[in-house]
Structure 1
């Protein structure tokens, strides 16, 4: 049965839930990346952005939030409307929420390579081969010295060590990776290489419809 990704956000009502704890970790890392970012305009993209909770509240309160031009891509129209309302309330004129398939490379044309790339809630819902392929595409989505934020549960099969190896192969250095004891999986990698051109018309991944953990997405 296909998951209702709008209702899935109800897990945030419990501040002690794994999802809420993961969200807090991602927001902390995004804020730290903004603290360390180069001066001047910045770009951000968020894949499968949901209601934008990973990024919008951080941009709304961070001193560098106004420097960021961002594109959040989300398929569920209900989540798109929630995210757009949050953007409007925060007065973030540089942030757009785009309805569409976040797996398609064309969704990011004109805004990559970006300084912040959020791939949160994706790796727990796609095949291992698609995770590897998406890590490779991050070398096109991410600017030199830019940061990728990603999530993946630490339950069996624990692919986090392999994902870290794949990022290393693509020219990324680890900034932070949660441990199995944390109960949630959050990774942060900085891109040290030169961005590759982003190919057009490519599907980076496909959701399997069988999420491996309730936290994922």
Structure 2
């Protein structure tokens, strides 16, 4: 899978990715708006071209409060995100080329007020999804918001992800409708943030195409 070419579907408003992006951006905007006054830290795991956050921040009233780190492995996607952030004057958005699965990428930013795990859960194993959920208690600040996505194809793991999150102190705030054609979840962390364990791999990015082949 060429993950740079894959982003092209975001430009098609009626595509699965275009519709999901719109919903994710709406939820990010609402999460920022509802955050308490003061500085806000935002992290994006497997950020791609950064469209989730960069599509919201320029015109958002909390723009000046946000400091963000976007982590993405593909340098072509990072180049796009950096170019967009620069053109919008978003100097407080740091875009990093690196393995988003490694906790070291988030040192100095965790725990964050808003954590984006979009486009991840559909590309890793079920065991790794649960593992990432566990790490979200280190990535999210108390009261922080987690925005996440996962497809609703059968077997639909979406309800189980909600259970894993809620067992670990996250409170369900909003879920997309089951028949939307995609899944977007918003959970708020009501627990106590745990120290970030450095040098640890949270997941192995497999790819939805490879996972689909395994299931056949």
TM-score, length basis structure 1: 0.95
User: Residue 140 of structure 2: which of 117, 139, 142 is its match?
Assistant: 142
1:52 maps onto 2:50 in alignment: yes
Aligned length: 211
Corresponding residue SS for 1:181? coil
Judge conservation of contact 1:66–1:92 (CA < 8 Å) in 2. no
Report the Cα offset of residue 12 of structure 1: 1.5
Alignment partner of 2:55: what SS? helix
Question: Aligned ranges for residues 172-183 of structure 1 at < 5 Å?
Answer: 172-183=170-181
Distance 2:192 2:18 in 1: 34
CA distance in 2, matches of 1:23, 1:206: 24
Q: Aligned-pair distance for 1:25?
A: 0.4
- CA displacement 1:93-143 (0-9 Å, x = unmatched): 211000000000000000110000000000000000000000010010000
Structure 1 ranges of 4+ moved more than 3 A:
209-213
SS of 1:124 mapped into structure 2: helix
Contact 1:139 1:196 in 2 (8 A): yes
Q: Measure, in 1, the Cα distance between the counterparts of 2:196 and 2:15.
A: 36
Aligned position for 1:97: 95
Rounded Cα–Cα distance in structure 1 between residues aligned with 2:52 and 2:30? 13
CA displacement 1:73-107 (0-9 Å, x = unmatched): 00000000000011001111211000000000000
For structure 1, list consecutive stretches of 5 or more residues without a partner in the other structure: none
Task: Give the secondary structure class of the aligned counterpart of 1:6.
Answer: helix
Q: 2:17 — aligned with what?
A: 19
Counterpart of 1:130 in 2: which secondary structure?
helix
Map 1:5-16; keep pairs closer than 5 Å. 5-16=3-14
- Give the superposed CA RMSD: 1.0
Deviation for aligned residue 1:47: 0.2
Q: CA deviation at 1:65?
A: 1.1
- Normalized against structure 2, the TM-score is what? 0.96
Shift of 1:178: 1.4
Correspondence 1:29 to 2:27: yes
Task: Tell me the residue number matched to 1:64.
Answer: 62
Q: Helix, strand or coil for the counterpart of 2:47? A: coil
How far did 1:210 drift?
3.9
